[in-house]
Amino acid sequence: MPTSYILALDQGTTSSRALVFDHAGQIRGRAQKEFRQLFVQPGWVEHDPRELWSTQIGVAQEALSQAGLRASDIAAIGITNQRETVVLWDKRSGQPIHNAIVWQDRRTAALCDQLRAAGHEAAVQQKTGLILDAYFSGTKLKWLLDNVPGARARAERGELAFGTVDSWLVYNLTGGELHLTDATNASRTLLYNIHTGTWDDELLQLLDIPPAVLPEVRSSSEVYGQTAEGLLGRRIPIAGIAGDQMAATFGQICWERGMAKNTYGTGCFMLMNMGGEAVASQNRLLTTVAWQLEQTRTYALEGSVFVAGAVVQWLRDGLGIIRHSGDVEALATSVPDSGGVYLVPAFVGLGAPHWDSYARAAIFGMTRGSTKAHIARAALEAIAFQSAELLGAMHKDSGVELRELRVDGGASTNDLLMQFQADVLGVPVVRPKITETTALGAAYLAGLAVGFWQDRQEIAAQWQEGQRFEPQMAGAEREARMVQWGRAVERAGGWASEE
């Protein structure tokens, strides 16, 4: 299919994007549109599902137009999406019955505390690979059923459909024909058994979820159906679905056990391929489905850093010590090191492996000689320290020695940060030529399903190294810096608790 292309829909937390890829994996067209973030009250974050759909179909049409293509030029559509965000809609009308509750939303934290106190966490972790946290979809769905008038009765009568954002897009793309999800998104709901590959009856009972609302779980690469007549000018096969971090892992060609990628965005998400083994974490990481091809599930260990690139935004907007986010590298490079300053960016608590909701941001080690350049450097170093903690936990869980870390996301373009990351990890950090790996992963999954690419070997041959950062720090210094970082994290921990 030399003249055909793949359309990747990338529905993120702050914007909807669409990219057109050619057979060589090169970008031929792209479009992006931001949408509103609805902060209903402190700790609550919502999106309007209709806005998610309208911006996504809008950028799809715009990307095709920019590339000078028509729907007849597209071999398949791949979808990747913000994970854990919940939509509940009327099956007949297709209208949402409430705003989407976003993955960042904390309204169900107290419910998670109750379930944990009742002794349910071990069973939940064993079945789902997840911890009991408001981050995941299941408790959000329970909240909707309990708090939207009439929702529970309607759900039990089979009138409502629940889905993560991928399900909502597929439903709309097919004109209401399909209600499905893939195994990667299902594995983030607290309702799916990652060992059996099915919705789990005991978990559904625990959260009081009627099975009638659930989507069918399919593999990450297959032809699910076609777009509705008249939507894009021609019916196009929808053939790939994966949550954003899993799609990025696939797009980085991290296909062998022990290969890992880290995405540097607002937060950091590190995934290490565990092959066919769902390795249970003893170090507060998540065990998740990386992708499912036909009936074979590949698993990963995942660690989440809540604040990464967002600390640079804080330097810009909160402190005003830089004008543009891109200025941080020059400022940080103006000093040879952080001068003993450590910044713990726990603005919303700490993610893996600490899971401390009560930690708060703090700066340690300042003297009268400390400058804004030292703080900027400490902020960048904090991103790398947090990621190094994740990798340390992954090593303890899996026994796997990392050979290199593949990186993507906005902050991966920062050479100082990437070099320091290599230094504190003690392994090379590799940035690919194409850093749009999330959309590329969705494109690869869709293209495989329709024969656009013959096999995974053909895809693997496309991955190209852009820049490699070799570790330069001595082992003793690396260890000392990590110990000092640990001291800083310990002091920031539990700060906001009432005790």
- Residue 17: strand pairing partners: 10, 32
Whole-number pLDDT of residue 76:
97
Residue 243 region by backbone torsions, left for phi larger than 0, else alpha for psi between -120 and 50, else beta: beta
Whole-number pLDDT of residue 411:
87
Structure tokens at 75: 């071999």
Whole-number pLDDT of residue 353:
87
CA 436/CA 248 separation, integer angstroms: 8
- Is residue 34 classed exposed, middle or buried when 0-12, 13-18 and 19+ CB atoms within 10 A define those classes? exposed
Residue 348 has, within 13 A of its CA and on its CB side, a CA count of 19
Domains (range + CATH), the chain: 5-245 (3.30.420.40), 252-432+464-499 (3.30.420.40)
Whole-number pLDDT of residue 305:
87
Whole-number pLDDT of residue 1:
44
CA 199/CA 176 separation, integer angstroms: 22
Query: Roughly what angle, to the nearest 10 degrees, separates helices 109-117 and 121-128?
Result: 110
Whole-number pLDDT of residue 349:
82
CA 83/CA 200 separation, integer angstroms: 19
CA 163/CA 86 separation, integer angstroms: 6
Whole-number pLDDT of residue 3:
60
Within the chain, which residues score under 70 in pLDDT?
Answer: 1-3, 498-499
DSSP 354-405: T-BTT---EEES--TT--HHHHHHHHHHHHHHHHHHHHHHHHHHH-PPPS-E
Nearest-Å Rg of the Cα atoms of the chain is: 22
